[in-house]
Structure 1
Amino acid sequence: MKLKISFLKEPKHVGVVSCVSWNNTEDVFSCGDDHKLLKWHLVNGECLVVATFPEDFYPICMHLFPKIHIGGNKHQQDVILIACADGKFHIVNNNGRIEKSVTAHQGACLAAQWSPDGAGFLTAGEDGFVKVWSRNGLLRSVVIQSDEPCYNAIWSPDNSSILYTKGNYLVIKHLSSTSKVTKWKAHDGVILSIAWNANNNLIISGSEDGFSKIWDSFGQQISVSVKHDQPITSVSWSPAGDMFIIGSYNLLRLCNANGWSHCLDRPSTGSVYSIAWSSDGTQLAAACANGHVLFAHIIDREYTWKNYACTQIGRKVVSIKDILTDQNDQLDYPDRVIQIALGFKHLVIATVKQCFIHKLSSWNTPVTFDLKEGTISMILLAERCMCVVERAGISIYSYMGRLLASPRCGSRPETIGRAAISLGPDSLAIIDQSDRKTIHVYDLPTGLIVRSSTDNTVTKLVHKMTVSNVSLSQTGSISERQLALLDYNRDLYVVTVRDTKCKFMKLGSQVLSIIWSADTELLVGLRANSAVAWCCTHAATQPDWLALTTVSKDISDLGRNPSLLSVEEGVACICRGNGSLLHVSLAAFPEKLLKHVADNMWQDALQLCRTVEDETLWACLAVLSWQHNQLAVAEEAFALIHQYYQVCYIQHLRSTIPEKLST
């Protein structure tokens, strides 16, 4: 993955460009010391002067009103908030006319940001004050009074608190009076830039000491960068929270959410004062000290599934290759590609206007349909359907392009992270964003009948702890659909969704990442120094059976925050904390056994166990055959794992069942 950078030979601004902000996925506003507000149209490459402000107008920060849907009404005010060096903030409309100007601070107004819900905004100034204002520019409250300049202040993703800088300290001030202030020393130098992501709830800070650091909301350090030669003047999360960008003097560095670097570019732009991502997370714009507005597009994104590899090699070009047959093709699209998903024998490409569904057996004849809106944050694939998450809502489509369902999940679907949503062949699970102890599981139509959002059967699961990760099993009938979840204590639970009395059964603790096999009901989890495979999750009701059917393998040097990417044929693909990939053969024979059982091939399953002669494999066969009432197979399997009390019970059942049938 890398950045494709472009900017004009001659800058359109005269002097420093201090701030940039996106209007939509194709339009950018920029403002600088030449008092001009410019609008850039990326599709046709035009640059228009929207307004020329007075001579004393020196902007420092700019933020456009957030794109939100309130009560299903798409009509909203489209205005720009600009903070200036004279202590004023200005509310400007899209035509460049100043609607309101207010003197907010003594000295410069260094930060201004709309709240995520659009109900108001905050400003921070050189006088050390942080103030909250109504949408119309009326002062609501003075939240912070400090004796040091506040170089930056931002809202928390849920609007409940404000993160601001105080010298080399970071401080989280909760707006409710009952909560304590969270304060910690973050850097050795003055902190110049901060960013807080809604999807992963992590914070980045950039400082004069040349370091950028990642923090959680409790002030615990997640990652620290290498030391840069110059101060970090800007940081910005991508909307999905899977990567971030940092800017310094003649430097742009794209990093993964764990902190390791994707790419490093050194454009001749001077200091990068502001960086903004487009809402689809594929483009960014940067305000530079030499008058340039820099644009960058993410390319060389790679996706793999079994023997297929897909790479985005240009803004509108995707390359796909079958590694086994060495068949290679290049797919061109009429619009810019924003999302790619590969799996379950399909390649799904979303552009700004349309979605293309390719079968891997025939790449050049895709199914297409128009999108509601050109801001897609995620595409999830399952065996029989796909899920598209965009700002307008969540939609479930068949692979023929037919809309199957539109489940309602809240007011801001684009803030749902990948850990908070999971798609199965017939179900969709979403963590409730307002109450993260609650999980909503929607039953999806398996035919071609279109359902409205009110027709879906919804199962509401309530856990005792806050849930951080959910994952639906990918095989079996809907009556046996299982949901695995991780809570904030890193405990792993599994629950059968369609049970009349849903019971959360604990499988393990200190689990960092989970994933189901796409072909069987094999659940794999990752701990700090090991990988664990639960071969029979239904055995969780019997602790001794669960222990016998669990496989664990020690792994060293996984680093911080490793994650599971896939499980195929019992081989787990793990992404280490430094970004390198590791393939671990964990449960090849148990997964083969599970496939035999799913196909009702009990003699083949028995022959596999006799050949391998592994106690865990026999234990899996014993539990599975007992659950499927294969008593003869279960008797042999339990005998070989020394569960003699179960053997005696099976023999008793086999002797009494014929008598009951005869009577």
Structure 2
Amino acid sequence: MKLKISTFKEPKHIGIVTCVCWNNTEDVFSCGDDHKLLKWNLVNNECMTITTFTEDFFPTSISLFPKTSQGGIKNQHDVILISSADGKFHILNHNGRIEKSVIAHQGACLTAQWSPDGAGLLTGGEDGCVKIWSRNGLLRSSIVQSDVPCFSASWSPDCGAILYTKGDHVVIKHLNSNTKVTKWKAHDGLILCIAWNPNYNLIITGGEDGYAKVWDTFGQLMYVSVKHDQPLTSVTWSPAGNMFVVGSFNLIRLCDSNGRSYCLDRPSTGSIFSISWSSDGTQLAAACANGQVLFAHIIDREYTWKNYTCKQITRKVVAIKDIISDQSDQIDYPDRVIQIALGYNYLVIATVKQCFIHKLTSWNTPVTFDLKEGSISMILLAERCICVIERAGVSIYSYMGRLLASPRILRPETVGWTSVSLGPDTLAVIDHADRKVIQVFELPTGLIVRSSTDNIVTKLTHKMTVSCIALSQTGPLNERQIALLDYNRDLYVVTFKEAKPKFLKLGAQVLNISWSSESELLVGLRANSVVAWCCPRAATQPDWVALTTVSKDITDLGRNPSIASIEEGVVCICRGNGSLVRVSLAIFPEKLLKHIEGNVWDAALQLCRTVEDEALWACLAVLAWQHNQLAIAEEAFALIHQYHQVFYIQHLRKTIPEKLSTNQQLSSVKADV
């Protein structure tokens, strides 16, 4: 992955460009010390002057009214907020006419930003004050008064707190006065720029000491960069939160959320004062000291699935290759490619106007459908459906391009990779308003899943804040499970179609989780090991969980490792530094789970007798017990020395007459006994 950088041959600004922002995926606003507001169109490579301000107008920041899916007032979607060096902020319409100017600070107003929900705005100034204003420019509160200038400030993703700089310290001020202020020293020197991740709740700071640092909301250091030669003047997160970019003197660097550097470019632009992402997360615009506006596009994105690889070569060209047959092709699209997804024998390409679904066996004849809006932030694939997350909403499509459902999700633009999961018949999303709540949508209706005993709309509520969720990919809908990690790194599973869903704990100190796409095998990462829970349904019996869990020690995983894929019991792990390592962990348990899912019990029993592994026998015992295969369960429990369970099964077999030995009747007798 790298940035393809482009600029106009001649600077359109005279003097320093101080701020930029995106209007849509193809239009950019810029403002500089030449007192001009310019609009750039990347499709036509045109630049036009929107307005020219007075000679004493020197802008310091610019923010466009957020285009949320909740709509609001349509004409406010092009409302521009600009702060200036005379202590004012200005509200402009899309034609550049100043609707309102407000004196906000003594000295320069260094930053101004709309809230993510568009309900208000905040400003920070040279006088050390941070203030919150209404959408119409009326003062609501002056929440911070200090003798140190506030160089940068930002809203929290839920608009419940303010992040701002105070010299070499970072401060989080909650708007609820009962909550304690969080403050910590972040740099040796002034902090010039900060940004708050909308999806992963991480904070990035850049300072005069040349370091970029990533923190959690408690002030714990998650990552520190190498020391740069010059102060860092701009930092910003991508809309999906999985990448960030930093800018300095003649330098722009793209990194993933763990800090691993994708690319480093040194354009001759002078200091980069402001960087802005497009809403689809594939383009950048930067304000430069030499009068240029720098544009960058992310290319060389690579995706792999089994024996297929896909790589974006240019803005409109994608290359695909079958490694086994050595068959390859380059596919040219009519519009710019913004998102790619590969899996389940399909390649899905989203451009700014259409979505193309290629079957990997015949990728030259795609299925196409039009998109609601050209700002897709994410594409999720499952066995039978596709989830497309746009700023306009969430849509579920079949692989034939038919719209199946449009679940209603609050602020879909803030949905991150860890807060959403797609199954073959279900979509699960962490509630943005209350992250203890998981909303589950049954497909294709798009309605929140109802309890099996009543018709009341239900939501899953955990006792702790949920940080990550994952849906199981196999089995019937009424047995679908959700695995989740909370902020304590505890792993739970829940079967949400039960009358009273229960959160059952599987383990602690788990960093990342993933389900196998071919069986009910759940894999998790710990600091120095990888763990496979072969029978997550056994969580009701702690002894059974221990017997059916397989683990393997592995070192040097680094910070925040992740599971890239699970194939045939082999786990591919992405270390913190980006390198991949494959661990053979649960080959035989995965085969056993496939036999049982296919109801081939003789083959499952033969596999266990051949391998002669205690964990494998334990898996067979638990699964046979759950599927009421008492004879097989009795043999398996005996071989793992669970004699009390053997006696219990023998008691059941004597108690239940042969004519009553159906699965349903046996289950009721097991419950009664």
Cα 1:455–1:507 change in 2 (3 A) is closer
Query: 1:356, 1:515 → 2: CA distance?
Result: 27
Amino acid in the other structure paired with 1:482: Q
Structure 1 residue 75, shift from structure 2 partner: 5.1
Task: Name the counterpart of 1:313.
Answer: 313
Task: Name the counterpart of 1:448.
Answer: none
- Tell me the number of residue pairs that the alignment of Structure 1 and Structure 2 aligns: 656
- 1:135-534 correspondence runs (5 A): 135-410=135-410, 412-445=411-444, 451=445, 459-534=458-533
Structure 1 residue 319, shift from structure 2 partner: 0.9
With structure 1 as the length reference, what TM-score do the two structures score? 0.97
Query: 1:103, 1:75 → 2: CA distance?
Result: 24
Please tell me whether the aligned partners of residues 485 and 510 of structure 2 are also in contact (alpha carbons under 8 angstroms).
yes
Structure 1 residue 646, shift from structure 2 partner: 2.2
Structure 1 residue 108, shift from structure 2 partner: 1.1
Structure 1 residue 645, shift from structure 2 partner: 2.3
Query: 2:476, 2:657 → 1: CA distance?
Result: 30
1:24 match: secondary structure: coil
Deviations 1:142-165 (A, max 9, x none): 111111111111111111111111
Amino acid in the other structure paired with 1:178: N
Deviations 1:28-80 (A, max 9, x none): 01111111111000011111111111111111111111112336765534111
Task: Name the counterpart of 2:47.
Answer: 47
Cα 1:648–1:452 change in 2 (3 A) is closer
Deviations 1:321-367 (A, max 9, x none): 11111111111111111111111111111111111111111101111
2:380 match: secondary structure: strand
Deviations 1:166-187 (A, max 9, x none): 1111111111211111111000
Amino acid in the other structure paired with 1:256: D
Greater shift, 643-652 or 461-470, is seen at 643-652
2:76 match: secondary structure: coil
1:647 match: secondary structure: helix
Amino acid in the other structure paired with 1:268: S
Deviations 1:598-642 (A, max 9, x none): 111212111211111111011111111122222222222112111
Structure 1 residue 660, shift from structure 2 partner: 5.2
- 1:11-26 correspondence runs (5 A): 11-26=11-26
Please tell me whether the aligned partners of residues 151 and 191 of structure 2 are also in contact (alpha carbons under 8 angstroms).
yes
1:320 match: secondary structure: strand
Residues 1:571 and 2:570 aligned together: yes
Deviations 1:470-528 (A, max 9, x none): 11100001111111111111111111121112111110011111100000000001111
Please tell me whether the aligned partners of residues 344 and 383 of structure 1 are also in contact (alpha carbons under 8 angstroms).
yes
Cα 1:657–1:120 change in 2 (3 A) is closer
Please tell me whether the aligned partners of residues 65 and 114 of structure 1 are also in contact (alpha carbons under 8 angstroms).
yes
1:373 match: secondary structure: coil
Query: 1:644, 1:140 → 2: CA distance?
Result: 70
Please tell me whether the aligned partners of residues 533 and 550 of structure 1 are also in contact (alpha carbons under 8 angstroms).
yes
Structure 1 residue 648, shift from structure 2 partner: 2.8
Query: 2:382, 2:659 → 1: CA distance?
Result: 44
Amino acid in the other structure paired with 1:618: W
Please tell me whether the aligned partners of residues 245 and 252 of structure 1 are also in contact (alpha carbons under 8 angstroms).
yes
Please tell me whether the aligned partners of residues 484 and 495 of structure 1 are also in contact (alpha carbons under 8 angstroms).
yes
Query: 1:538, 1:89 → 2: CA distance?
Result: 58
Q: Which runs of 5+ in 2 are unaligned?
A: 452-456, 662-673
Q: Which runs of 5+ in 1 are unaligned?
A: 446-450
Query: 1:561, 1:585 → 2: CA distance?
Result: 21
Query: 2:572, 2:77 → 1: CA distance?
Result: 46
Cα 1:648–1:505 change in 2 (3 A) is same
Query: 2:500, 2:61 → 1: CA distance?
Result: 54
Amino acid in the other structure paired with 2:358: H
Greater shift, 514-523 or 69-78, is seen at 69-78
Greater shift, 57-66 or 649-658, is seen at 649-658
Please tell me whether the aligned partners of residues 459 and 497 of structure 1 are also in contact (alpha carbons under 8 angstroms).
no
Please tell me whether the aligned partners of residues 440 and 449 of structure 2 are also in contact (alpha carbons under 8 angstroms).
no
Please tell me whether the aligned partners of residues 407 and 456 of structure 1 are also in contact (alpha carbons under 8 angstroms).
no
Please tell me whether the aligned partners of residues 66 and 77 of structure 2 are also in contact (alpha carbons under 8 angstroms).
no
Structure 1 residue 647, shift from structure 2 partner: 2.3
Please tell me whether the aligned partners of residues 442 and 449 of structure 2 are also in contact (alpha carbons under 8 angstroms).
no
Amino acid in the other structure paired with 1:239: P
Query: 1:523, 1:182 → 2: CA distance?
Result: 37
Query: 1:76, 1:661 → 2: CA distance?
Result: 69
Structure 1 residue 275, shift from structure 2 partner: 0.2
Please tell me whether the aligned partners of residues 489 and 510 of structure 2 are also in contact (alpha carbons under 8 angstroms).
yes
Task: Name the counterpart of 2:104.
Answer: 104
1:76 match: secondary structure: helix
Over aligned residue pairs, what C-alpha RMSD do you find? 1.6
Please tell me whether the aligned partners of residues 441 and 449 of structure 2 are also in contact (alpha carbons under 8 angstroms).
no
Cα 1:486–1:119 change in 2 (3 A) is same
2:589 match: secondary structure: helix
Structure 1 residue 238, shift from structure 2 partner: 0.3
Query: 2:513, 2:615 → 1: CA distance?
Result: 21
Residues 1:598 and 2:568 aligned together: no
1:387 match: secondary structure: strand
Please tell me whether the aligned partners of residues 65 and 76 of structure 2 are also in contact (alpha carbons under 8 angstroms).
no
Please tell me whether the aligned partners of residues 69 and 393 of structure 2 are also in contact (alpha carbons under 8 angstroms).
no
Cα 1:659–1:373 change in 2 (3 A) is closer
Task: Name the counterpart of 2:669.
Answer: none
Please tell me whether the aligned partners of residues 442 and 448 of structure 2 are also in contact (alpha carbons under 8 angstroms).
no
Please tell me whether the aligned partners of residues 435 and 466 of structure 2 are also in contact (alpha carbons under 8 angstroms).
yes
Residues 1:616 and 2:611 aligned together: no
With structure 2 as the length reference, what TM-score do the two structures score? 0.95
Cα 1:51–1:650 change in 2 (3 A) is same
Please tell me whether the aligned partners of residues 566 and 574 of structure 1 are also in contact (alpha carbons under 8 angstroms).
yes
Please tell me whether the aligned partners of residues 110 and 151 of structure 1 are also in contact (alpha carbons under 8 angstroms).
yes
Cα 1:175–1:380 change in 2 (3 A) is same
Please tell me whether the aligned partners of residues 619 and 641 of structure 1 are also in contact (alpha carbons under 8 angstroms).
yes
Structure 1 residue 125, shift from structure 2 partner: 1.0
Task: Name the counterpart of 1:583.
Answer: 582
Amino acid in the other structure paired with 2:551: S
Amino acid in the other structure paired with 2:603: D
Query: 2:335, 2:449 → 1: CA distance?
Result: 34
Query: 2:374, 2:473 → 1: CA distance?
Result: 29
Amino acid in the other structure paired with 1:286: A
Cα 1:86–1:640 change in 2 (3 A) is same
Query: 2:22, 2:118 → 1: CA distance?
Result: 16
Structure 1 residue 656, shift from structure 2 partner: 4.7
Please tell me whether the aligned partners of residues 441 and 448 of structure 2 are also in contact (alpha carbons under 8 angstroms).
no
Query: 1:101, 1:71 → 2: CA distance?
Result: 25
Please tell me whether the aligned partners of residues 158 and 433 of structure 2 are also in contact (alpha carbons under 8 angstroms).
no
1:589 match: secondary structure: helix
Amino acid in the other structure paired with 2:15: G
Task: Name the counterpart of 2:666.
Answer: none
Amino acid in the other structure paired with 1:94: H
Amino acid in the other structure paired with 1:387: C
Query: 2:282, 2:130 → 1: CA distance?
Result: 32
Structure 1 residue 459, shift from structure 2 partner: 4.1
Query: 1:631, 1:164 → 2: CA distance?
Result: 63
